[in-house]
Structure 1
């Protein structure tokens, strides 16, 4: 039986946070702040004490209510991808299952994948469902680094900080039901994994007061931008070839939301009109791992996706060590 997406859900913590939380009006008008890579969205959301599992439960419960089912007994496979796991050893999967009252056969805390994780998780879940190892799956993407990491007093003055937002997106899959998953593509480029790291002189687990920050080597920034421009169209083109359509035939394109520059470059490379490429950046900022499912859920609720639409999800992760794309024929 083909794997299908039954429904999706999302959760955004707290009230919207304005760009002035990070910079003054004068700083926001500076040349660096106007750079397309760093231009701050109007608003974003920040976690305020929520655990990742609590964010997942807040996104998933309304979805299960719409489906008329309870999580207990309805989730064979639970996959989480959390930017900052509340417990670095056990991850968030078991806590999520406990909060939702389910006992999956499989709990996978998928730490890699980043902004490409949604397509990666779709392919993994499809593989397991096709093998008969599971019949249903709950995919959970949590970005919780903006309010905990990028909001640090010194870090929040970095040009990267104001771009990030927090949120959670979930998707429920089953065998033989929902909107059929037509194909998926995952690209690995492990040679680029070390091009993203933490600044600072101490290990992240070591005691100290130094604020750590995610950063890219400045001398590789041009290469990283080029990878990002290339990888998403490459993954989307691959999945379109799998299912025998041209990229121009995509009805709705849902990508991660790093900045306006990447969004414009991707749709231009793929021949997808702007109105068919959903843009949530100005409202939610860069939601990293949660960007694709949250953007899709909001597009559904806004009526931007119709029955019969060919929907393609895509993203690239970190400094370009992974990219993914997946296609579904949406049937509401």
Structure 2
């Protein structure tokens, strides 16, 4: 049974950016410019990072958690009973990379979940799952791992790289640690599944084939102008909607949010979202120009960057919000940030 009197908190967050920054001209020298929806959707960031040759999701997870372990000490892993992993492009068929990551961390969690849906908003989806388990069981803490690893694999293929869509994605990883504590508490979470849009994002190849079939054409995301227009319209609406729903329930106006952290598909979404919620750019940090679209890893990596850069004073009201794929999932979560907790000093 869920015990809602148990307060769950975001204790710490850390992240990893692979390799050296790759500039936009690595892609854009192949591109034609235009004023279409594609030009808005795929206006490239200045830089992004790509996974290194041979770098696995477990490697990325290990490198992402390293700063957290340096702060907290390796003993924090002894109380991790929940591991939730979202890998954008799993190396391991069928089962995902959660087991390999658990082994790399040296833990045997009672709850090990490979979260294959939630996409760019999977961080919030995982937070909700972890909170439910922590409130309903004797589990002590949870680790959430988000890995974005398609930029250097899918979008750097020689047939895909010339496409406008290839310049947007970046690779990276983020790790969050959730505990039962009154410090940095989660205040509210909103998740909305919109399954009617679940089939709107597809993979395509020329000549056509299924992803499991051998063939000469390299797989990429199947965007059309009509599809892009629909995604832009949905995304502009549903992210502010879920953010408002959370703010309404905790009794604050959206323009009172101290920090908004979203996924970062492109500049236009970022601008439209903060304008809709009445927030200035300085309260909506992103890493788009340095990292591109990090998909599910965008929120934890950007929040880690904001905290490390001193942009999140203790007591800040933080709202995470985002949507996935072509709009089949949207979510938001609010928390009162009181700084990183420490397992070493007993504060958690």
- Same-fold call, TM cutoff 0.5: yes
Q: Do the aligned partners of residues 120 and 193 (structure 1) sit closer, same or farther apart at CA in structure 2, a change above 3 Å counting?
A: same
* 1:46 alignment partner in structure 2: 50
Deviation at 1:99, TM superposition (A): 0.5
For 2:314, which of 280, 292, 307 is the aligned residue?
307
* 2:279 alignment partner in structure 1: 272
Q: Secondary structure at the match of 2:95?
A: coil
* 2:196 alignment partner in structure 1: 191
TM-score under structure 1 length normalisation: 0.96
Once the two structures are superposed, what CA deviation does each residue of 1:71-124 show, in whole Å capped at 9, x if it has no partner?
A: 542210000001100112221111001001011111000000000111111111
For 1:30, which of 22, 30, 33 is the aligned residue?
33
In the alignment, structure 1 residue 120 sits paired with structure 2 residue 117: no
The 8 Å contact of residues 195 and 217 in structure 1, kept in 2 or not, is answered as no
Alignment map for 1:129-278 (pairs within 5 Å): 129-176=134-181, 178-200=183-205, 201-278=208-285
The 8 Å contact of residues 187 and 333 in structure 2, kept in 1 or not, is answered as yes
* CA distance in 2: counterparts of 1:315 and 1:296, whole angstroms: 14
For 1:107, which of 108, 112, 127 is the aligned residue?
112
* CA distance in 1: counterparts of 2:148 and 2:262, whole angstroms: 15
Once the two structures are superposed, what CA deviation does each residue of 1:304-327 show, in whole Å capped at 9, x if it has no partner?
A: 111000001111000000001001
Q: Do the aligned partners of residues 29 and 218 (structure 1) sit closer, same or farther apart at CA in structure 2, a change above 3 Å counting?
A: closer
* CA distance in 1: counterparts of 2:312 and 2:143, whole angstroms: 21
TM-score under structure 2 length normalisation: 0.92
Deviation at 1:237, TM superposition (A): 0.5
* 1:82 alignment partner in structure 2: 87
Q: Which ranges of structure 1 fall in alignment gaps of 5 or more residues?
A: none
* CA distance in 2: counterparts of 1:140 and 1:204, whole angstroms: 25
* CA distance in 2: counterparts of 1:209 and 1:324, whole angstroms: 38
CA RMSD of aligned residues (A): 1.5
Q: Which ranges of structure 2 fall in alignment gaps of 5 or more residues?
A: 1-5, 340-348
Q: How many residues align?
A: 330
* CA distance in 1: counterparts of 2:107 and 2:174, whole angstroms: 18
The 8 Å contact of residues 71 and 100 in structure 1, kept in 2 or not, is answered as no
Q: Secondary structure at the match of 1:146?
A: coil
The 8 Å contact of residues 41 and 228 in structure 2, kept in 1 or not, is answered as no
Once the two structures are superposed, what CA deviation does each residue of 1:184-217 show, in whole Å capped at 9, x if it has no partner?
A: 0001100001000001221111122210101234
* CA distance in 2: counterparts of 1:146 and 1:62, whole angstroms: 24
* CA distance in 2: counterparts of 1:175 and 1:160, whole angstroms: 41
Deviation at 1:29, TM superposition (A): 7.6
33-42 or 258-267, larger mean C-alpha shift: 33-42
Moved over 2 A (4+): 27-36, 68-72, 215-221
The 8 Å contact of residues 10 and 294 in structure 1, kept in 2 or not, is answered as yes
* 2:7 alignment partner in structure 1: 2
Deviation at 1:133, TM superposition (A): 4.8
* 2:346 alignment partner in structure 1: none
Q: Do the aligned partners of residues 248 and 72 (structure 1) sit closer, same or farther apart at CA in structure 2, a change above 3 Å counting?
A: closer
